[in-house]
Structures are given as C-alpha cells and as structure tokens.
C-alpha cells in the first residue's frame, strides 16, 4: 500500500486568522504550511509518519505539495530516517492550485496497488488505529475487488453545515454524501475527513472523475468529498467509524490540537 499525503493547499483561512490575531503569539507561524505546523513536539505531518511506521504494509510514502512550499518539505524530509517522495503539483499561489482530487491523481501516477489518502491538515484522536482500519479494508476487498473505506467521525449539530456529511446504512455502506448541508437536510451527524483507503482496482475512478470534469470550474473537482459523492455511485464505499478528529483549519482549532498533543507529551 502507498500512503499519499495531500499537502498542496495554501491555508488561506489560517493565514487570515494569524493576521487578525491581536495577541501576536502566533506570528512565527506565518508562511508555515499547515502540515508543517508544530503539533505537540513535532510537525503535524510527522505524526502521520509515526503512524505509518506501525503498519508494515505501507511500502511507499508520497507527499503532494505546491511549488511555493516545496523547499520547506524538502528540508523536513531530510530529517527523516525513512525515504519520502515529495511531488510538486506545480502551482505558486492559491489561484493556480490544481485541486485536491488532481493531487490524489498526482500522488498515484502509475501506481496500481492499494492507496491510502490522507489530508495533510488532519489528525485523529487516540482511538484511531491505522492497522485495524487496514484489516477491515482487507476484509472488504475479499467481498469487493473494487472498494473504498473512508473514515467517519461524529459532528456537532452546530457544525453540520461546515463539513461534508455522509449517510450510511446498517452495514456501514455509504449511501449519500452532502456537502455542507443545513441540519434539516439530513438526519446524519457523521462527517468524513479525507482519510480514504482505495483498492488498486478502484484507483482508475480518480482519472475518470477528473476527465469528466476537465472543462468545468475548479470548484467542481477540488474538495475530496466531491469525489466520494461520485464514487458511491460506482463502487461500494464503506465507513470506518472513529470517535473524533482534529481539523486544523483555523487558528483556534490549531491551538486546541497543539495543546492536546502537548498534554499527551507531558
């Protein structure tokens, strides 16, 4: 299995929060891409490296970055014991970005085995086990050659309209995806952060998705949830439930995540 970390975003909301922060305590984070933000005692992305080390079946790691921040990732990767491939998606600013789903394809390239996709601004709580998730995924592959297993986590009522919401049946099969709905539009209170396991036989659907939308605006092929919404119409997609996640989107969510991990270190 290959692990692909999507790290080509520009963190525009986070940068805006930093500029508007009156305390001045976080100015040192200006210009730092979110996956490289210090969480506890190491960069956010390094926590994923530690998780990958506990799963022997992960044979390669790819990080898809933008051109503006590539040098920062090159410097980070030189401190690692394990080889990581850094791939530049080519943009130099947010307006030029290729979009998250294109970055998924860039991370895969000609690879034909199973792939784990991870959003570079997300961390999970202590109940998460990548090894257990992979075991569940392997069981599903015995039933469906083409399949996908995505993480699901509870979302508070007041935050439903801030996330992509998935609907699942009694067998944990994903039956619907709604991008940032009103709470009245769905009874589901499950969000789906971008942590997806895809079988090698299903990877070609990324290329198909992008091909069908190549002449459409970026917003139709940017957020990874849009791909999930399309994928559930093509192959079995299942949900792997966890108790919570950290979404390092803005300054306040970053502070909470950082403080929680500092407490764990102590």
pLDDT at 266 over 80: no
Instruction: Say what the pLDDT of residue 54 is.
Output: 87
Closest alpha carbon to 88 in 8, 154, 181, 150: 8
| CA-closest candidate to residue 255, choices 39, 20, 22 | 39
Q: Residue 202 pLDDT > 90, yes or no?
A: yes
Q: What is the mean pLDDT of residues 191-206?
A: 96
Separation CA 198–CA 214 (nearest Å) = 22
* pLDDT confidence of residue 179: 87
Residue 251, pLDDT score: 96
Element (H, E) at 148: strand 148-154
- Give the pairing type, strands 164-168 and 245-247: unpaired
Average pLDDT rounded to a whole number, residues 166-177? 96
181 DSSP assignment: -
pLDDT value at position 108?
A: 96
Strand 237-241, strand 148-154: pairing: parallel
Query: What range does the domain containing 206 cover?
Result: 2-265
pTM comes to 0.95
Report the number of distinct structural domains present in the chain: 1
Contacts of residue 236, defined as CB under 8 A and 6 or more positions apart, other chains included, come to 140, 143, 144, 146, 147, 148, 173
Distance CA 223, CA 233 (A): 17
At 38 the pLDDT is: 97
- The DSSP symbol for 195 reads E
Residue with tokens 């999507």: 6
| For the chain, percent of residues with pLDDT exceeding 90 | 88
Contacts 24+ apart (CB under 8 A), 181-184: 183/157
Average pLDDT score over the chain = 95
- pLDDT at residue 171, as a whole number: 95
Alpha carbon distance 198, 101 (integer Å):
14
**Which of these ranges, 87-91, 131-135, 159-163, 195-199, has the smallest mean pLDDT?**
159-163
- Cα–Cα distance for residue pair 240/80, rounded to 1 Å: 30
Mean pLDDT within 78-87: 93
Residue 51: count of CB within 10 angstroms of its CB: 18
Instruction: Yes or no: say if 48 and 116 are a contact pair by the CB < 8 Å rule.
Output: no
Give 265's pLDDT tier (boundaries 50, 70, 90).
confident
Band (pLDDT 50/70/90 cuts) for residue 221 is: confident
Instruction: Kindly indicate the confidence band of residue 75, based on its pLDDT and cuts at 50, 70 and 90.
Output: very high
- How much is the CA Rg of the chain, to the nearest whole Å? 18
Phi-psi region of 90 (alpha: psi -120 to 50; beta: other; left: phi over 0): left
**Model pLDDT, residue 260:** 94
Q: What is the pLDDT of residues 118-169, one digit of tens each?
A: 999 999 988 899 999 999 999 999 999 999 999 999 999 999 998 889 999 9
Q: What are the pLDDT digits (tens) for 34-70?
A: 999 999 999 999 999 999 998 989 999 999 999 999 9
Q: What's the DSSP call for residue 131? A: H
Closest CA to 88 of 66, 104, 71, 107: 66
Q: What is the domain-level CATH number for residue 150? A: 3.90.550.10
Helices (H), ranges, the chain: 12-20, 44-53, 70-77, 100-108, 130-143, 204-212, 224-231, 251-265
């Amino acid at each position: 299995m290959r692990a692909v970390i999507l790290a080509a975003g520009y963190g525009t909301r986070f940068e805006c929060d930093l500029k508007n922060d009156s305390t001045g305590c976080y100015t040192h984070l200006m210009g730092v891409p979110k996956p490289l933000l210090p969480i506890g005692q190491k960069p956010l992305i390094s926590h994923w490296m530690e998780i990958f080390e506990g799963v022997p079946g992960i044979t390669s790691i790819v990080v898809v970055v933008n051109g503006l921040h590539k040098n920062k990732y090159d410097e980070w990767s030189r401190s690692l014991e394990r080889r990581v491939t850094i791939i530049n998606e080519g943009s130099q600013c947010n307006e030029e970005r290729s979009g998250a789903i294109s970055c998924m394809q860039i991370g895969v390239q000609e690879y034909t085995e199973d792939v784990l996709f991870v959003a570079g601004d997300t961390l999970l709580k202590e109940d998460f086990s990548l090894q257990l998730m992979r075991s569940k995924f392997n069981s599903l592959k015995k039933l469906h050659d083409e399949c996908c297993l995505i993480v699901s986590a509870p979302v508070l009522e007041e935050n439903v309209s801030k996330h992509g919401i998935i609907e699942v049946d009694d067998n944990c099969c994903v039956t619907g995806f709604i991008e940032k709905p009103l709470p009245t539009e769905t009874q589901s209170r499950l969000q789906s952060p971008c942590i997806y396991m895809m079988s090698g036989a299903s990877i070609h659907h990324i290329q198909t998705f992008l091909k069908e939308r190549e002449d459409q605006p970026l917003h139709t092929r940017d957020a990874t949830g849009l791909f999930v919404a399309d994928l559930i119409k093509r192959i079995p997609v299942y949900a792997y439930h966890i108790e919570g996640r950290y979404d390092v989107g803005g300054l306040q969510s970053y502070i909470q995540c950082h403080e929680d991990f500092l407490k764990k270190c102590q």
